[in-house]
Structure 1
């Protein structure tokens, strides 16, 4: 997919919204040097073009007692269209899976699973992941510390 053409004002809007999605249109307009009406129009255009998918509230996992983050590599017996679809459908049902990627290399999928403790992860593994048809191999790596994390995408390549 070819990136959308964005001007410097669009990029400033996106950078600000990535850091503070709750900013009012008036404050956003003031920060980028536009009046509120054209600013809102630009935001709507970015939304309609799919550049802005949605706005969310980020929660602190540790404050909520979700202290264990596990990266799980999953290998399927066969990589048929049906097996891939079935696996993806089942994984989407599990709230513990916060990210899932179809991969190249040894593993077919890489999952990031967030749970309160190791016992909960063990239950997720035994009662969910291992029961998905076609799963051949599962390897788990426990994160010791989150060193870097951001939801902001790099935009410098668009300037």
Structure 2
């Protein structure tokens, strides 16, 4: 059926300390997985998320993510908006803008298409980080490489401390 190609994954390099993070019961219904990444004394909650096209962004997931001081929430939001650099906006994109405006989450900058098919291209995949974590990550995301998806992955890196 149509759901055969949908899913969510979160891969963390085996050289990095991490633990599984169980989402609360009220979020289990969502296509989301989470882990705690441990870097020195810092615990970063990472949530990978998928929402089908033309679906309302789940405010409760974004609220949950924003309650943690050090959070990264990323994935296929199917959210298009001209504020993201897309040529079009959709209801999911408008909902995402409205919801995140009042939360301590910042979208990492990217204006390159993350989904490309025969009908065109869109910026529908996003990375948001908590405001407390923003100084520790590069504020720009970039297109990574993939071999298993029709979406291009977004990546970010820790800012260089080289002078």
- Which structure would you say has the larger RCO, counting Cα contacts within 8 Å and 6 or more residues apart? 1
Query: Which structure's CA Rg is the greater one?
Result: 1
Same fold judged by TM-score > 0.5? Answer: no
> Which has the larger share of strand?
2
Q: TM-score, normalised by structure 1?
A: 0.28
Bigger share in helix = 1
Q: Please, what TM-score do these two structures have when normalized by structure 2? A: 0.28
